[in-house]
Amino acid sequence: MNDSTSALLQDAAQRAIRYLQGLPARAVRPDPAAVAALSRLDLPLPQNGLPADQLLALLDEAVSPATMAMAGPRFFGFVIGGALPATMAANWLATAWDQNTALYPVTPGVSHLEQVALDWLRDLFALPAGTAGAFVTGATLANFTALAAARHAVLARTGWSVEADGLFGAPPIQVLIGEEAHPTLLKSLGLLGLGRTRLTRLPVDAQGCIRADALPPLRGPTILCLQAGNIHSGGSDPLRSLCNAAHQAGAWVHVDGAFGLWAAVSPRHAALVDGLPLADSWATDAHKWLNVPYDSGLAFVRDAHALAASMSISAEYLPRESDQRMPADYTPELSRRARGVEVWAALLSLGRSGLAELIERNCAQARRFADGLRAAGFEVLNEVVLNQVVVCFGNADTTLRAIASLQADGTCWCGSTVWRGRTAMRISVCNWSTTDEDVERSLAAMIRCARQAGA
């Protein structure tokens, strides 16, 4: 490597460090002037390339201030984690390795590391021995991957090979899903040819969770999709009773636990997902509550054979002599980055108790938001059982004005929603760096902005 490459990477590290150091103090929203100036990037592709140091300076000056401080401690929109320092450092090193993590014999280091991380995760979630895991881009693809295995298994039991023959003429599959399932689950089902709307929707309770008595009689190939962690309430479907009932009819049970699965690692919150290991497949995100950089999701399938049957490929030029786990046998992708490296780094840097403490701290911070907002006279719509809070500042207009004022204020950032017919603001606490002081500052800003909006 020549001196100018070394200087370039040092410069990039310095700029990244400066950005991170600025996160706690800067406004959370993008700087409006920087957003307005983004048009300076709209150049035709030049005939001759720009030196990389100039390009990096342009990137930092034009784009850094136009970012949302999602990685910082007071971003409470959607369900977004930050990146633990150990994960970012591991990510930088792994980017230098640039390993195409498809085949064990070619990339033994990162392939092995991913197996270690999967073992730790199976242990943390108490998943059955032999459960297969896969590193994918996020919970959307984790749902897709796990449901592809489900589709394989329920049709294989009727003697149908969906991989060979597709769904043309196949026995119909009954798919059941809660009224408040995440929209990406519907998308995954659509991608798999199971239909976004050709579904049996199951009624939910006031927390948006499927009612324990909601299951109709099940017959034939059946997939039941449950949820651990409703994006509004944080609540989970009654996993134990629904798994038991569905299994009596031979159904496959899948759990979308993009953030809610992590409740299992906290002794204080594990009861919320009681029965989790009874399911047949699980999807979760690492880029949300585990606080690794984007993008990173995880799929788990009890029947490893069903996952491999739906995902594996073979070709003469792909080496297979190894009896080691082949990463590409479990993912939709062949070529991909070594996204298990950051998962490994997050788990090892936190340890079992550090991870439980992160989950519990964020949940306590969510309860503090709810208590503070209620004390100020505002209506919290959900029972705060995890890290999500849904609050109304009055009627829809007042609530939307309060949210707009809060977003412009910049102390923190929260988004709007409509839940169970009410216009409301969502607060999601899942960043490792959020302090109790951040919560107090943000709470004060919420109350101030709501009052300004006439609440």
Binding positions for ligand PLP, rule: CB under 6 A: 79, 138-140, 182, 184, 227, 229, 231, 256, 258-259, 285, 297
Q: Give least dist CB 143 to ligand PLP, A.
A: 7
- Nearer to ligand PLP among residue 204 and residue 443 (C-beta): 204
Count the neighbouring beta carbons within 10 Å of the beta carbon of residue 318: 14
State which residue has the least CB distance to ligand PLP: 138
Instruction: Please state the closest distance from residue 141 (CB atom) to ligand PLP, in A.
Output: 7
Nearer to ligand PLP, 77 or 327 (CB): 77
Query: How many other C-beta atoms lie within 10 A of the C-beta of residue 120?
Result: 16
Give pairs for 375-383: CB < 8 Å, separation 24+.
376/447, 376/450, 378/450, 378/455, 381/232, 381/419, 381/420, 381/422, 381/424, 382/207, 382/232, 382/233, 382/234, 382/235, 383/206, 383/207, 383/233, 383/235
Of the candidates 243, 306, 303, the one whose C-alpha atom is nearest the C-alpha of residue 277 is 243
Closest to ligand PLP by CB, 182 vs 302, is 182
Q: Which is nearer to ligand PLP, 312 or 417 (CB)?
A: 417
Shorter beta-carbon distance to ligand PLP: residue 259 or 378: 259
The CB-of-442 to ligand PLP minimum distance in angstroms stands at 21
Closest distance to ligand PLP from the beta carbon of 362 (Å): 14
What is the C-alpha separation between 282 and 346, in angstroms, rounded? 20
Task: Count the neighbouring beta carbons within 10 Å of the beta carbon of residue 31.
Answer: 15
Minimum distance from CB of 55 to ligand PLP (Å)?
30
Closer residue to ligand PLP (CB): 228 or 455: 228
Using CB atoms within 10 A of its CB, is residue 14 exposed (0-12), middle (13-18) or buried (19+)?
exposed
Least separation in angstroms between residue 378's CB and ligand PLP is: 24
